[in-house]
Amino acid sequence: MARLKVEEINFSFGYDTILEDISFEVNEGEVVSLVGPSGGGKTTLLRLCAELLDRQEGKIENSFKTQAVAFQDPRLLPWKNVIDNISFGLKAMGVSSHEREERAKEIALKFDLEENDFDKFPKELSGGMSQRVSFARALVTKPDLLFLDEPFSALDIGLKRELQDHVMELIENKEITIFFITHDIMEAIRLSDKILLLAPDPGRIVKIYDFDVPQAQRDDEYVYSQTAKLLSDREIIETFELEFR
Amino acid sequence: MKSLLKILRDFPAYLWSGWGAIASVFIFIAAWDVGNQVYGDLILPSPLETFQTLAQLFKESEFVENLMITLRRAMIGFSISLVAGTALGLLAGFFVTASMVSRPIVTILMGMPPIAWIVLAMIWFGMGDATVEFTVVVASLPIVFVGALQGTRTLEDKFDEMADIFKVPPVMKLFDIYLPHIFSYVFPAWVAALGMAWKIVVMAELLATSDGLGAALALARSQLDTASALAIVVAMVGLLMVAEYIFLEPIKREVEKWRD
C-alpha cells in the first residue's frame, strides 16, 4: 500500500524555525487535512511533501507513483488556452496530442466549462472558471496523491461546494489520496478522515482528530455539530487564538 | 506553424481594419499640400510632385542601387544586434550579478547620442560600410538587450513550481514556460530596434559614406533639390511602414494575443 510518511521534519529559513518535529502519515485512500492559522507553515510543509523544497532534517517517504497539486492561485499559463492548460500535465507525461485533447475536453465538460470557453486564454476567464481549469489540470492526470493548497478559499460557496463534490466523488470511489491544507475547519470536517492541527511559531502538530463516518454520510447536521465541537476544543481555541466574549 | 497559418488567416480582417490609418495618412498629405500652397515649391514641393519624383527615381538604376546598399547595411547591423543582443540579454538575465552589472552600462549606451557614435566610428573605421554598420549595432543592440534581459528577469517561479509537480522535462519547460514569456518581451524590442536601425543607417550614411540613401539625401541637399530629398524621405518612411504594418504588426498581434 502506497503512503506518504513524514518523520521528524524540522525546517527553518535562516534563524526562523518554520516547522518543528513534524511526523504523520497519509495512507492510500485517505484524506488528511492540515488545519492551522495563516502563516503557520502549512504551505511550507506541503511544499516539502511535494518535493518542491529540499528537506533539511527528518525523513519523507513517498511511495505514490503520480502526484498533482491544486494551488490557491490557479497558476494557469497565460499563453495557453483552456484545453492546453488542462492537458499540460498530460503533455509532460508524453500522452499523444490527440488523446490529450480528448481527455482535457472530457474533464472540462465535467467541470461545467462550456465548449466555447475551450479556446479562451486565462485573461478571459473569471476567477471561478480559472480555478475549475486549474482543478481539471490537476485531476486529468489521475494522480494517486493530490495536494490541495487552499484551492477553495477564494471561491463563492456555490462553486466551493461544486468542486468539493468532485473531490468527494473521487474519495468515495477510493480513487485518490489527498493531503489537504486549509484554514477552514468546516471544509476540513466535510472532507477528511483525519485532521492535523498545526500550531504556529514554530509550526508543530499539536493534535490529531479522527473522523470515522464515511464522507458520503456526512450531512450538514453532522458537519455543523462536529464544527461546533471542534471550535470548543481547547487546542483549537489556543491555536487560532479564538476568544469568545 | 499553427500560429503562422493563423496570422495568414486573420490577415484580410487585419488589412480591412486599416482604413482608419489610411484616412489619417491622407489627412497628413492634405496638410502637406496646404504647406506647399503657402510656402511654394522650393521650400515644400507638393505631394504630387514628390510622388512623381519618387516614381522617376525608381526608374534610375543608381537610386535602386543606393536603396539596396542602405537596406543591406541596415540588415547587417540589425541582424548582429538581434542575435548578439538577444543572446547577451538572456545570459545576463539568468544571472543576478550579470544583470546588476549590465544595467548601468546599458544606460550609458542608450544615453549616448548616436551622432557621437558616428563621429567616433568615423575616426576608428574611416568612411565606409563599417562605420555605418557599427553605429547601427551600437544604437539598436541595447534595445534588444534590455528586452531580453527583462523577459528573463520577469520569469515567474510559480509556473516553474507548477511544472515541477508534473515532472515536466527541461526541454518542454523551455518551450512551454520560458520561451513564450521571454518572446513576448523580446519581440517588441526587435521591432523597436528595427525602427532604430533604419533611422540610424540613413543618418550615418549622410555623414560617413558616398553611397546609400543617406548620401543621396546629402547630394539632394547640396543641389537644393527639395523634391528629390522629400522623395527619398517618403521612400524611407514608406519602407518602414510596410515592414511594420504588413509584416511585424500581424505577428505581434498573434504572439501577444494572450496578454492583458
d(CA B53, CA B222): 17
CATH of A3-9+29-34+64-239, one of 3.40.50.300, 3.40.220.10, 3.50.50.60, 3.40.50.2000: 3.40.50.300
d(CA B114, CA A40): 56
Chain A residues contacting B via beta carbons under 8 Å: 47, 50-52, 67-69, 71, 73, 75, 77-80, 88-89, 91-93, 121-123, 141, 147
Q: How confident is the model at residue A159 (pLDDT cuts 50, 70, 90)?
A: confident
Q: Is B2 on the interface with A (CB under 8 A)?
A: no
pLDDT tens per residue across all 260 residues of chain B:
677 788 888 888 888 888 888 899 999 999 999 999 999 988 999 999 999 999 999 998 999 999 999 999 999 999 999 999 999 999 999 888 988 898 898 889 888 899 999 999 999 998 889 999 999 999 999 999 999 999 999 988 889 889 988 889 999 999 999 999 999 899 999 999 999 999 999 999 999 999 999 999 999 999 989 999 999 999 999 999 888 888 888 888 888 888 87
Say yes or no for a CB contact (<8 Å) between B181 and A79: yes
- Using alpha carbons, list the distances in angstroms from residue A51 to A68, A143, B186: 11, 15, 33
Closest residue to B258, CB basis, from A71, A121, A141 = A121
pLDDT of residue B26: 94
Q: Which residue of A has its CA nearest to B173?
A: A92
- Domain limits, chain A: 3-9+29-34+64-239
CA B66 to mean position of chain CA atoms? 19
Closest residue to A92, CB basis, from B166, B181, B259 = B166
Q: Give B12 to chain A, closest Cα distance, Å.
A: 21
Question: Complex ipTM, two decimals?
Answer: 0.82
Cis-peptide, bond into residue B113, ω within 30° of zero: no
pLDDT per residue over A221-234, tens digit each?
A: 888 888 888 888 88
d(CA A18, CA A167): 30
pLDDT of residue A163: 85
pLDDT of residue B197: 94
Higher pLDDT, B173 or A159: B173
Query: Where do the domains of chain B lie, and which CATH numbers do they carry?
Result: 2-13+45-255 (1.10.3720.10)
Angle (CA) A28-A29-A30 rounded to 5° is 95
